[in-house]
Structure 1
């Protein structure tokens, strides 16, 4: 059953890619080639103007955190589009033909990387030489990554909504099939908006080391798959040991500060005319992230305990490692399971009682029901902890920011540690 689901998914993407190629050929025959739209295109490093004549750097990103970092740094100096729609869990996203065209036309594509964006690798591989995004930046390569872990009481789960990375004895990296079940996430029609996957800042409808198709690789942060391969241990039979990394790198404000710096540098390289503005805005934004970091450290320094309980998945390794916190949770960060066993719930209830924990947490775009059950049995208050991987459509349209979501986390974390 799982095999058939995965085969269908791959065939679906192949069909979409075939459609995209055919559609692109029609566009090529009917419109001028990118880069020749403006009279000064010979000195313009960008691909060229869009249909409306907008010659700003066309930046496309997959996830909300990078969308927000980019708009804080660049403001109106760039055209900015987010591919994964507001209200959708990024782990279950599948691109539409319109999404593929948006990605193809990007001057700069900012992605997260990792197995949750395996769909993007397929899309990029489908583009002919010189017809895809001018530059691709993979944010997971810009910071030190940590492995997914299973802690006491946590269900390992059988499902991830994406494949695993396998590193073999010869150092090669292979993205395996998603040999898992549970690919379906329940989201409301309002949250999904499946017919409109592309969200643009202009309309308010609105992806680890640097990865480039040109000669733009930044040597100080560029580490490729073969470097990661060295982090894998070889088994006696010559096959690689499978390691899965936590992909939610932005959850640490310290990481966020580094990521913002990388984005500002890349923007300056791609759009030198606004380099000074990007640097100034980034410095101001990094100051705010430093203040946020200090707030979390203040909360933790006065905490009665260091243990936090999640009646949900746990995508916060980077955050908890940064502040020296411990956790118990129903599932790991990338699990697509949503209903823990009675044994897991009982363990979490006992842990909350044993440690006299005052709050139990759940995540955005997720059901709070398990946290509520634990709360009903223990008196602990169910509270939201926002991983910031995405926001609701209403929040997106309202212009909510990473800093605003994290400030709410400061308040809710303080309740749980008191």
Structure 2
């Protein structure tokens, strides 16, 4: 906080234009980075603020990060619980460029607590109240920030990024819009493939022995899900009751696969699967990527297509 105050007090009066004339875009998380990179093409420099593999919930920005946010032309962030540290930067550093939160780009949903899920400390849920008509039980808590997990949202965000870049650099506006539309159409195609796959399934139930930051994905494809924790949970050890509930659910419904998310140690998923005689598989939420994934050129589309292939391999076994 002292560093923030010092940096804010020493902020330059104006931001110098980059020597190459390109816009400088800083994104906190991979989805925003990927969508902006696609919309910008070679017209702007796009930088991922969080190092690959970093957990955004516990991230602590460095003085260099603060200066980047303060001086960039466009700063992109989630706007939810996992990057509350961003609000501190924005208040102290007073960025000279434009800022945009992903949760402001599309309609949001509230985080959901489903039947059997580990109760979050400080939250109370009425188990007798249906949340909505997908057979998800319980009540909702705060806004779920993982808006990009629904491909339809990802395409909409990409198109909006194209419009924002066109406003910032009107001379190249049509190129930004064209770049964004091209990538959004790739996402639209993938979205159609997901819909076709799920429409072919007699049952759309998934069990996650992990956090579940896929509320928007579940909503778009009408999935019924059970999980150990809600999407923004910081807990890693579910109660015996939660593990027993998920294990019984896998056994009773003949579910072949227990899922976990990227960068998880998947110990909970492994324990449930072993007890129920099931397999495990990873669903990549695209929240962040590993150094190898970033260096290898992975994108939202390639990562989500990988998810589709794993879904085809495991859900079709039912």
Same fold flag (TM > 0.5): yes
Q: How does 1:314-329 map to 2 (within 5 A)?
A: 314-329=212-227
1:141 to 83, 101, 104: 104
CA distance in 1, matches of 2:254, 2:3: 53
* Alpha-carbon offset, residue 133 of structure 1: 3.1
Tell me whether 1:358 sits opposite 2:275 in the alignment: no
CA distance in 1, matches of 2:201, 2:278: 16
Residue pair 2:81, 2:232 contacting (<8 A) in 1 also: no
CA distance in 2, matches of 1:359, 1:412: 10
Alignment TM-score, normalising by the size of structure 1: 0.69
- Which residue is 1:308 aligned to? 206
Residue pair 1:159, 1:337 contacting (<8 A) in 2 also: no
Residue pair 2:108, 2:143 contacting (<8 A) in 1 also: yes
Query: Unaligned stretches of 5+ in structure 2?
Result: 124-139
- Which residue is 2:17 aligned to? 49
Query: Unaligned stretches of 5+ in structure 1?
Result: 1-13, 35-46, 161-241
Q: CA RMSD for the aligned pairs?
A: 1.9
Residue pair 1:88, 1:365 contacting (<8 A) in 2 also: no
Residue pair 2:213, 2:231 contacting (<8 A) in 1 also: yes
CA distance in 2, matches of 1:405, 1:397: 14
- Which residue is 1:101 aligned to? 67
* Alpha-carbon offset, residue 243 of structure 1: 4.4
- Which residue is 2:80 aligned to? 114
- Secondary structure, counterpart of 2:207 in structure 1: strand
CA distance in 1, matches of 2:199, 2:143: 29
Residue pair 2:30, 2:48 contacting (<8 A) in 1 also: yes
Tell me whether 1:379 sits opposite 2:277 in the alignment: yes
- Which residue is 1:15 aligned to? 2
* Alpha-carbon offset, residue 15 of structure 1: 1.5
Residue pair 1:313, 1:335 contacting (<8 A) in 2 also: yes
- Which residue is 1:91 aligned to? 57
Q: How does 1:268-287 map to 2 (within 5 A)?
A: 268-287=166-185
1:266–1:367 distance in 2 versus 1, CA, 3 Å? same
2:42 to 72, 76, 80: 76
CA distance in 2, matches of 1:354, 1:54: 62
* Alpha-carbon offset, residue 252 of structure 1: 0.3
CA distance in 1, matches of 2:7, 2:91: 13
- Is the radius of gyration larger for structure 1 or structure 2? 1
* Alpha-carbon offset, residue 248 of structure 1: 0.2
Higher strand share: 2
Q: How does 1:115-194 map to 2 (within 5 A)?
A: 115-127=81-93, 132-158=95-121
1:244 to 142, 154, 178: 142
* Alpha-carbon offset, residue 265 of structure 1: 0.2
Alignment TM-score, normalising by the size of structure 2: 0.90
Residue pair 1:65, 1:250 contacting (<8 A) in 2 also: yes
Residues 243-280 of structure 1, C-alpha deviations (whole Å, 9 max, x = no match): 40111000000000110111000000001122111111
* Alpha-carbon offset, residue 408 of structure 1: 0.9
